[in-house]
Amino acid sequence: MPAFDGPAVTRSTLRQQIADALRDEILAGRLCPGQEFTVKEIAEGYGVSATPVREALVDLAAKGLLDSAQHRGFRVHEYSLTDYRAIVEARSLVADGIFRALPEIPEGALTGVRRRGEEAARAAGAGDLNVLIGYDLRFWRELAALFGNPYLSDFFHRLRVQSWMCAVPLLRRADDLRGALWSGHCSLVDALARQDAVAAQAIITGYNRDSLHLLERLAGERAAESS
């Protein structure tokens, strides 16, 4: 094996690990919208060199999670309710492109996706946002990957992450999320397993509508508290 292969793989892996860790910090609410930090601060916090950190931060900025703050490093991107509406619309269009013509899914291919859906639904019922986000992202990514278009799948995943970024600040202010979060993952899997495109589209449409109504209600309550 050529000598340059090892370091390149290690650096790439570390870069992705840092990016994933920072994404999880944002979705967990530990890095708040508008919060600023430098490459040096992140590198020291993780005990790594600045190069993979800078690469990870640039990647996250390209995906809309961070903004480059000139001469100050980076800041967590601040999304608005208007952004959320636009992301939901884009998410709907991409989902329609993925699920419009349902191929026959090989037996057993949905087993792992269903497990993620069951865990996501359980977390949603309990109002456990941290667990829900992790399983929900895995559910949609693995599900979209079954339909064979990696470009749509990757873009859809990016929209899923951005929509959670929009939602998290409002959802974490809610007193009790039990029963308020979408838990129709397994119903969607059932519809896809029987190749029922109409039912699958109805489930996704209802999910997007209900999610938007929830965020609008929470945003209204927040505005009322501030006035």
| CATH class of the region 81-226 | mainly alpha
3-state class of 67 per DSSP?
Answer: strand
pLDDT of residue 6: 35
Among the four given CATH numbers 1.20.120.450, 3.40.190.10, 1.20.1740.10, 1.10.10.10, the one describing domain 5-76: 1.10.10.10
pLDDT of residue 80: 93
Residue 214, number of CB atoms within 10 A of its CB: 18
Question: In the chain, where are the structural domains located?
Answer: 5-76, 81-226
Q: Is 194 exposed, middle or buried (0-12, 13-18, 19+ CB in 10 A)?
A: exposed
Nearest-angstrom CA–CA distance, 112 and 109: 7
**Residue ranges in the chain whose pLDDT is less than 50:** 1-10
pLDDT of residue 106: 80
pLDDT of residue 162: 95
pLDDT of residue 7: 39
Nearest-angstrom CA–CA distance, 167 and 27: 9
Does the model's pTM come out above 0.85?
A: yes
What's the length of the chain?
Answer: 227
3-state class of 76 per DSSP?
Answer: strand
Exposure string of 83-117, with b = 16+ CB inside 10 Å and e = fewer, is bbeebbebbbebbeebbeebeebeeeebeebbbbb
Residue 59, number of CB atoms within 10 A of its CB: 17
